[in-house]
Amino acid sequence: MKARLTRAESKARTRADLVDAARRVFLERGYHAASVADVAAEAGFSTGAVYSAFRGKADLFLAVLDAHLAERIRRMEAVAASATTAAEHAEQLARQFATVSGNDRGWSPLVIEFWAHAARDPELRQQFAERHDSLKQAIARMLDEMLARTGERLVLGTDQVAMAAAALANGLTLERLAHPDGVPDERFAELAAFIMKGLSR
């Protein structure tokens, strides 16, 4: 006989189910076309259950983004642990990013759609920026750990390199959206490794 969930456990499970459902709905319909009612129906809950866990659609999307970033950082950490040089690290991360992006083409336009929406709302823009920064901070932290391990040095600080890496990823993502076959995984990885080699000394 299964033990009954505590109130906190039940709330956590409901929240997780809603986040999973929201990801599916947002990917299928886009941020603007999706509604809280759509998410509730997908998860098998009432709209009241959604609003008891989240303030609204934007808050729900941010929770989806949090889950996505946590998984992305977990994968990056696994790559960082096996790389022996900064250039190798950059190339492996780029391959991983390219593969994940290629397998989940719906995610990039969804994030860009929300990004444009958040840019017009100061509070939402700040919340989105904090999450964007968390990814760059994770990259910088992993680079710091690698440089301490390998004894390498970079021309720029790791925070600046992390910003450059994010800018490269964002730019190539836009190129891929415009020309899906124009930025193959191999070219993406080669560009990342080339840039990192140029920053090493």
The pLDDT averaged over each successive group of 10 residues in the chain (201 residues) is: 74 95 97 98 96 97 96 86 77 71 77 96 97 93 87 87 85 82 73 68 58
120: left (phi over 0), alpha (psi -120 to 50) or beta: alpha
Question: What pLDDT score does 120 carry?
Answer: 96
How many whole angstroms separate alpha carbon 152 and alpha carbon 150? 5
Rounded to 5 degrees, what angle do the CA atoms 140, 104, 168 make?
35
- The three-state secondary structure class of 154 is strand
Domain boundaries, the chain: 1-54, 57-199
Question: What pLDDT score does 1 carry?
Answer: 47
In this structure, which CATH number among 1.20.1050.10, 1.10.10.60, 1.10.10.10, 1.10.730.10 belongs to the domain 1-54?
1.10.10.60
Are 28 and 59 spatial neighbours (Cβ–Cβ below 8 Å)?
Answer: no
> Which CATH architecture describes the domain 57-199?
Orthogonal Bundle (1.10)
- Among the residues of the chain, which ranges form H helices? 7-29, 36-43, 47-53, 57-82, 86-103, 107-118, 122-150, 158-178, 185-199
Question: What pLDDT score does 65 carry?
Answer: 97
How many whole angstroms separate alpha carbon 76 and alpha carbon 99? 13
> What's at 93, amino acid-wise?
L
Question: What pLDDT score does 187 carry?
Answer: 76
With 0.95 as the threshold, say if the pTM is over it.
Answer: no
Question: What pLDDT score does 23 carry?
Answer: 97
CB burial of residue 7 (10 Å; 0-12, 13-18, 19+) = exposed
Q: Which residues have C-beta within 8 Å of that of residue 21, sequence separation ≥ 6?
A: 39, 42, 43
Question: What pLDDT score does 102 carry?
Answer: 59
